[in-house]
Chains A and B, each alone.
Chain A
Amino acid sequence: MNKPGHPSFLILAVTFALIAWAAFLTGSGIHYRVLGMACFYGALALSWNIFALTGAISLGHAAFFGLGAYGSALFCQYWHWSPYITIFLGGTVGCIYGFLWHLTFRKLRGAAFALATLASVEIPKVTIDNWDRLTSGSLGLVGIARLPPVNLGSITFDVDENLQAQCFFLLMFALVVIYIHFKAMSSKWGWAIRSVREDEIAASTIGVDVPGIRLRALCVSAYLTGLCGAVYAHLMGSIEPALVFSLHFSALPLVLSIFGGRYQALGPFLGALILYPADQLLFHSWFPAGHAAFYGLVMVITILFFPHGIGEWVQQKTKSA
């Protein structure tokens, strides 16, 4: 755990997974859709992991996700701004809530922190649920503006209608988050995060600003999660509190990151590329109701048998063989 992750193997694995996907992409829309959403959940998992790198497990990122979704959708609805602007406002809303977390929970660690975050999802959820005049309450928002087409020179990317363009858009989004996540592991800031994770007291004696590092990681993580929520709102076109604040969006990044490897640059993304399609293409058709049990099962098995993630596990197996 002390050494930086070895990205070479994971880069290979991720490239391989993407190429394997390319074989499926023969015109049929559903595969583009699933790959696009896999990239989306990969970005969500990476955003979650940026904060998890400081050693704190959050069970409440659905709060940022939902606030981002509602923030962006409401700005869009009331002021009719372009979704490409309001998405960033949605992220900002998530970031503000993250700052509030920092103010309230800064002394908590480990299980106490996880519990506090789990409970803190209820605050925005119940408030939005009951603020009928602004948010139309538990009925949710419908008819949210879709993402308008992007013109690049002579080529038009119709992000909403064309699934191929949408997949590409989400892949680009994921790449941006991958870059930030990479920075959170290997820049000077990344090394500071690592030192905070391993030993806070030792880190502060060598001059690492521990609360500042945690705050920055939390704000970046909350901002990106809010961004994911906002993109989700405009992709789906309708949201409701019970959906965007559901346990699903807190649990999924946790599962994907732990499965893929929390301390590796591409681990959470690899987890998403493997698990999301497996869930959607296999388990969803076998058990239409209750297919999400798959994620819970993966979570239990991963913690019990390879707590450092599939990447490191495969690496160790190949090294010892």
Chain B
Amino acid sequence: MLFQLLIDSFSLGSFYALIALGFSLIFGVTHTFNLAHGELILLSGYLAYVLGKYFSIPFLFTLPICMLALVFVAMLLHQLLRQVKEPFELNSLVVTFGLALVLQNAMLFFFSANYRLIHVPPVPPLELPNLHLFITQTQFILVGLSLLVTGSIYLLWRKTFLGKALRATIQDREAARLAGINVEHMSLMAFILGGMLIGLAGPLYAQREYLHPFGGMEATLIGVIITIFAGVGRIRGILLGGWILGGVESVTVFFLGANWRELVSALVLIMLIVVRPAGVLSKRAKSERWR
């Protein structure tokens, strides 16, 4: 039983890390508080649903299409947010909050309030011998893709010049500009990468949980929680945060029931914001950004 719980938390946590990675990238590089993050994930999920259902495209082929589409959407969002005036952080929060409302209602209009799920062809869960442990195919895809993508972003982050430039922009925009980095391009890059991650997370979400037009805020909160836990631009921290949050939620669901899950993530978020707004794993005491 304990091991089953561990496997569930591990798969859930890896997926949470994927959700948070997109949010964290965009927030870190551009200081945009994207409250429409969850809605964008849902949008991508619905796109995959439509592609799978009406055009009968196999699930794995919908992933690149969704990623491409969401990159486009994220670039549009970047263009929109460039128009926002000071104070940028609060205004971007309000604008994306408005955008979240628009997206929610647009999805309600186009896809109705019915719950949707991408059905993957049933494959009997893999049972580990003698242990009574089950790993479903969904979990396998979820963990595999999440870790693969997080790993490749990590390599990009650490080993390429682009990653270095992005990190520099996160640390200090002005200094990065002085060092000859085009901060505007880096913002665009962050939105493109973030859009790819969102586009990937959507179909995975739709295959794991039911899609509902108003379900996006939960995913946004997950992104925010893990980003605050890890501090911006810390990929290993995000992965750790995802696993911890996945573990906490799995344990809550196991002992208290699924109804209390949202409460736990909300409480965790409030505690994190109140206690360590600059990130629990971050070495700096308190970032100016939050003041």
Interface residue ranges, A against B (CB under 8 Å): 57, 59, 104-105, 107-112, 114-116, 118-123, 125-127, 129-130, 247, 251, 254-255, 258, 287, 289-293, 295-300, 303-304, 307
Contact residue among A116, A125, A130, A307 (Cβ-Cβ distance under 8 Å from B270) = A116
Compute how far the CA of A57 lies from the CA of B83 in the bound complex, rounded to whole angstroms.
20
With a CB–CB cut-off of 8 A, which chain B residues contact A130? 259-260
Interface pairs (23), CB distance under 8 Å:
A111-B93, A114-B90, A115-B224, A115-B273, A116-B273, A119-B273, A122-B265, A123-B263, A123-B266, A126-B259, A126-B260, A126-B263, A129-B259, A130-B260, A258-B94, A290-B105, A290-B109, A291-B105, A296-B99, A299-B94, A299-B97, A300-B98, A307-B85
B residues adjacent to A (C-beta < 8 A): 33, 80, 83-85, 87, 89-91, 93-95, 97-109, 112-113, 214, 217, 221, 224, 259-260, 262-263, 265-267, 269-270, 273-274, 277, 290-291
Other-chain residue from A114, A129, A297, A300 in contact with B93 (beta carbon distance below 8 A): A114
A299/B95 in contact, CB under 8 A: yes
Whether A119 lies near B101 (C-beta < 8 A) is no
Q: A303-B95, A307-B85 are in contact. Are A297 and B102 (CB under 8 A)?
A: yes
Main secondary structure on B side of the interface with A:
helix
The reply to whether B109 and A289 contact each other, CB–CB distance below 8 Å, is yes
CA distance A123 to B84 in the complex (A): 32
CB distance from B115 to the nearest CB of A (A): 14
What residues of A have a CB within 8 angstroms of the CB of B33 in the complex? 111, 115
In order of increasing CB-CB distance, the 9 nearest A-B pairs are A296-B101, A299-B98, A290-B109, A293-B105, A122-B266, A290-B105, A296-B102, A126-B263, A119-B266
* A251 and B102 contact, CB distance less than 8 A: no
Among the interface residues A120, A122, A127, A289, which one has the most CB atoms of the partner chain B within 10 A? A122
- Smallest distance from the beta carbon of B158 to chain A beta carbons, Å? 29
For B217, list chain A residues within 8 Å (CB): 247
Q: Per a CB cutoff under 8 Å, which of B80, B87, B102, B105 touches A110?
A: B87
Q: Which residues of B contact A107 (CB under 8 A)?
A: 274
How far is it, in angstroms, between the C-alpha of A59 and the C-alpha of B95 when the chains are bound? 13
The answer to whether B274 touches A105, judged by C-beta atoms less than 8 angstroms apart, is yes
Nearest residue (CB) in A for B268 is A119
Cα distance, A111 to B87, chains bound together (Å): 10
Given contacts A258-B94, A300-B95, A303-B91, contact A119 B105 (CB under 8 A): no
Contacting residues, chain A, for B109 (C-beta < 8 A): 287, 289-290, 293
Cβ distance A118 to chain B, nearest Cβ, rounded Å: 8
Name the A residues within 8 Å of B85 (CB-CB): 307
